[in-house]
Structure 1
Amino acid sequence: MNLPEHYDTLYSTSIEKIRSGQYQLDPLLDSDTDNRLGITLLLRPDSQTKQQIQAFLGELKAIDPAQYYYPNSDIHITVMSIISCYSGFELGQIAVPKYVELVRRSIPAMREIRISFKGITASPSCVLVQGFMLDDTLNELRENLRLNFKNSGLEQSIDKRYAIQTAHATVVRFRSEISNMEGFLQVLEKYRNHDFGTFTADALELVYNDWYQRKEHVQVLHRFRLG
């Protein structure tokens, strides 16, 4: 995948939809009955990069405080959605140690995962920070996970929704009508190519999570040290 081209296309098509009012509000963001849960392997940016992201989000909040802005604790890159969130899934349905061991076997030996967060893009329902992989480690890890889970017999839904190939982080979700459209879009354009920082992931987390990776609903099942 040509990531810059992918992000550019996503941005241009989504901004037009947002500008024309065709953006999508998330009806479950504030729902007390949303019980979608799943299993995810993820990594998190370092604190300096997250500070840069919060500066961006702070400008958006000043324009429209009603949208859903990710706190630092929830910002992440999905390495692989192993069991996509669905209603009624419970941790007791799976043998967690088997998942931990399979992920451990899938991690490339003595490798680091380096990511550059540069610029933002959007979808009709959210705003994303663009992530670019500076080596092949993340792709190699994903391919190992696909192969190993396919042959494992364990419950999984890898690539059922789509085959993940990017390294983005979702940072805003639309929960209500955008109150100041021009101001909101101006901030997005300002940060279109902003350098949020480059970081080396020091760990992977296997988590039991809700749809939004909210800290209060996330249980870390295992932390894998990298490097």
Structure 2
Amino acid sequence: MNLTEHYNQLYKTSSEIISAGKYSIDSELKNESDSRFGITLLIRPNDEIKANIQTFINELKKAEPEQYFYPDSDIHITVMSIIPCSENFSLNQISPNEYIEVICRSLVEVEKIKIHYKGITASPSAIMIQGFPSDETLNNLRNRLRENFKNSGLQQSIDSRYEISTAHSTVMRFQEKLHDPKKLIEIADKFRDYDFGEFEVKNLELVYNDWYQRKSSTRVLGDFGLR
């Protein structure tokens, strides 16, 4: 997949939908009884990158203070959704150590992973930071995880919703009617090619998480240092 083309097309389509007032509101964000949980392998950006992202988030907050914004602790890139969030899943259904073992096997000989956060894109219900891996290392790891989990016999639903191939981070979701959709897109346009910086991934986390990766609901099952 050409990530630049993918992000561009996503932004073009979504910015038009948002500007026209046809965006989607995520009604589950305020649902305190939301019981959708899953297992995710993820990357977290470093503090310098998160500070740069907060500059963008602060601009968005001025225009749309009632929306949902990701705090530093929750910003992430999904490497692989191993068991996508569902009301039917709970942690006692699996043995985390078996999942950790498969991930360790998949990480053997993995080279350095670098991610460049440059520009923003959108969906009809969210604003995201565009992430660009520096090479094929992340994709190769994902393919290894797919293969190893498929052969493991463990419960998993990898790629059940879609095959993950991007490296974006969601930073804003719509939980209320927007005050001024066109103004929001004006701000987004300003950061369309903004350079948030590049970082080398030092570790991956395996987490038991809710749909929005809220820190308060997340349990770290494994932490994998990279060379």
Instruction: Verify same fold: TM over 0.5.
Output: yes
C-alpha distance after superposition, 1:117-163 (max 9, x if no partner): 00000000100100001021111110000000111110000011000
Tell me the residue number matched to 1:17.
Answer: 17
Q: Which residue of 2 aligns with 1:116?
A: 116
TM-score relative to the length of structure 2:
0.98
State the 1:32 CA deviation: 1.2
Report the Cα offset of residue 7 of structure 1: 0.4
- The structural deviation recorded for 1:184 is 1.3
Per-residue CA distance 1:20-76 (angstroms, 9 max, x = gap): 111110011010110000000000111100101000000110111011000000000
Shift of 1:110: 5.2
Pairing 1:1-227 to 2, within 5 Å after superposition: 1-109=1-109, 111-227=111-227
For residues 189 and 94 of structure 2, what CA distance do their matches in structure 1 show?
44
Alignment identity in percent? 53
Offset, 1:2: 0.5
> Is the Cα contact below 8 Å between 1:108 and 1:140 reproduced in 2?
no
**RMSD between aligned alpha carbons?**
0.8
Separation in 2, partners of 1:218, 1:109: 29
> What is the DSSP-based 3-state SS (H/G/I as helix, E as strand, rest coil) of the residue aligned with 2:57?
helix
| TM-score where L is the length of structure 1 | 0.98
**Structure 2 runs not aligned, ≥5 long:** none
Deviates more, 1:86-95 or 1:72-81: 86-95
| Other structure's SS at 2:145 match | helix
Residue type of the alignment partner of 1:149: F
Q: Is the 8 A contact 2:41 2:207 kept in 1?
A: yes
In structure 1, what is the Cα distance between the partners aligned to 2:87 and 2:225?
31
Unmatched runs of 5 consecutive residues or more in structure 1: none
Q: Which stretch of the first structure deviates more once superposed, 105-114 or 203-212? A: 105-114
CA distance in 2 between partners of 1:72 and 1:168 (Å): 15
Quick check: 81-90 or 70-79, which moved more?
81-90
Whole-Å separation in 2 of the counterparts to 1:167 and 1:108: 21
How far is the alpha carbon of 1:185 from its aligned partner? 1.4
In structure 2, C-alpha distance between the alignment counterparts of 1:141 and 1:2, rounded to whole Å = 18
SS at match of 1:28: helix
What secondary structure does 1:8 align onto? helix
Q: Equivalents in 2 of 1:135, 1:154: separation in Å?
A: 30
Q: Distance in 1 between matches of 2:182 and 2:144?
A: 44
Separation in structure 2 between the aligned mates of residue 148 and residue 22 of structure 1, nearest angstrom:
41
What is the rounded CA distance, in whole Å, between the counterparts of 1:178 and 1:108 in structure 2? 46
Q: How many residues align?
A: 227
